[in-house]
């Protein structure tokens, strides 16, 4: 006896019956919302498909094309449903017609959107997204502050009222930036605690964001971490010696002429810290911070 198989084709679930029972060989029984995404719980069987399954004879051989569909069909019928064999799958899928181009396009876009949402829910992607947003808001705050310095509010005119309202907007934007920066610090301490302790939470978050992830950053050499985020100046002079590490903890404690040397040492310490965060997950921040502080004290004594 041939088997009836529940097959998924894009957004649809199809009950493919054996030719003696159904000469056409297939029966549409769902719509665009028939199959749940991987993050939306079990597959949802539409009512028409459930009715078609229950109308099958009790001794009918019923199969499912995947474990998700197997679980849903078994729950709907109250009995176990085995998976289809490779031969049964070939025959069943061959009987299912292709989707309309517009319908298939909508389904593929929905799948891509669901995959992106799943990726953005990981702690690493959350940190990268928040960090890039914090950088964007920081640039907006700085741009508005520079514009306010050059704006002349003439007393007794509507320009004064506008300047007052504009100041309130800037204050609100600054509060939003501080809230976002605090959120970045919290996520950085959770994801890369050793690196955050060595270079500071915001600097650690920006290093992870610039590298594209913790694993990618952990594979970088110390010199690459030191120069991460730099932009070479179009001049014959010596290029920059540090990028994102310019904002790292301890940089302002070092004399200006020795900050390049500090960036080199800090790049090496940061490489050790992020590798521990990415692999062993051991807490080694205390010894690394002590090593960093000794280097700061040494550079302050040997200023030139």
Q: Considering the chain, what is the average pLDDT of its residues?
A: 84
DSSP letter string, 152-176: ---TTSHHHHHHHHHHHHHHHHHHH
Note if the pTM is more than 0.85.
no
d(CA 141, CA 139): 5
Average confidence (pLDDT) over 18-43: 46
Residue 160 makes CB contacts below 8 A (sequence gap 6+) with: 153, 154
How would residue 1 be classed by pLDDT, with cut points 50, 70 and 90?
Answer: low
d(CA 39, CA 44): 13
Please write the tens of the pLDDT for every residue from 80-104: 889 988 888 888 888 777 777 887 7
The better pLDDT of the pair 184, 69 is held by: 184
HSE-up of residue 138 (Cα within 13 Å, Cβ side): 13
Average confidence (pLDDT) over 119-133: 91
Is the pLDDT at 153 greater than 80? The verdict is yes
The better pLDDT of the pair 102, 186 is held by: 186
Is the pLDDT at 63 greater than 60? The verdict is yes
Q: Contact, 273 vs 197, CB < 8 A?
A: yes
pLDDT at residue 24, as a whole number: 37
């Amino acid at each position: 006896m041939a088997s009836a198989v529940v097959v998924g084709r894009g957004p649809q679930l199809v009950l493919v019956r054996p030719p003696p029972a159904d000469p056409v060989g297939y029966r549409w029984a769902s719509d665009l919302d028939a199959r749940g995404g991987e993050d939306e719980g079990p597959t949802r069987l539409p009512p028409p498909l459930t009715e078609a399954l229950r109308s099958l004879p009790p001794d009918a051989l019923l199969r499912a094309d995947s474990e998700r569909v197997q679980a849903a069909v078994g729950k709907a019928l109250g009995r176990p449903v085995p998976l289809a064999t490779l031969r049964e799958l070939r025959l069943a899928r061959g009987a299912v017609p292709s989707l309309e181009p517009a319908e298939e396009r909508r389904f593929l876009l929905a799948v891509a959107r669901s995959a992106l949402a799943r990726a953005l829910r990981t702690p690493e992607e959350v940190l990268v997204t928040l960090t890039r947003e914090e950088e964007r808001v920081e640039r907006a705050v700085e741009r508005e502050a520079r514009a306010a310095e050059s704006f002349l509010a003439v007393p007794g005119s509507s320009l004064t009222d506008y300047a007052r309202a504009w100041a309130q907007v800037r204050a609100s934007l600054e509060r939003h930036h501080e809230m976002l920066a605090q959120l970045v610090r919290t996520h950085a301490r959770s994801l890369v605690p050793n690196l955050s302790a060595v270079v500071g939470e915001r600097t650690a978050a920006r290093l992870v964001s610039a590298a594209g992830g913790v694993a990618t950053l952990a594979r970088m050499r110390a010199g690459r971490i030191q120069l991460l985020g730099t932009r070479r100046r179009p001049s014959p002079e010596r290029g920059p010696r540090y990028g994102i590490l310019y904002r790292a903890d301890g940089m302002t404690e070092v004399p200006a002429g020795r900050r390049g040397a500090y960036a080199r040492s800090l790049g090496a310490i940061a490489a050790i810290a992020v590798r521990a965060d990415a692999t062993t997950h051991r807490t080694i921040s205390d010894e690394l911070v002590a090593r960093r502080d000794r280097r700061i004290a040494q550079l302050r004594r040997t200023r030139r």
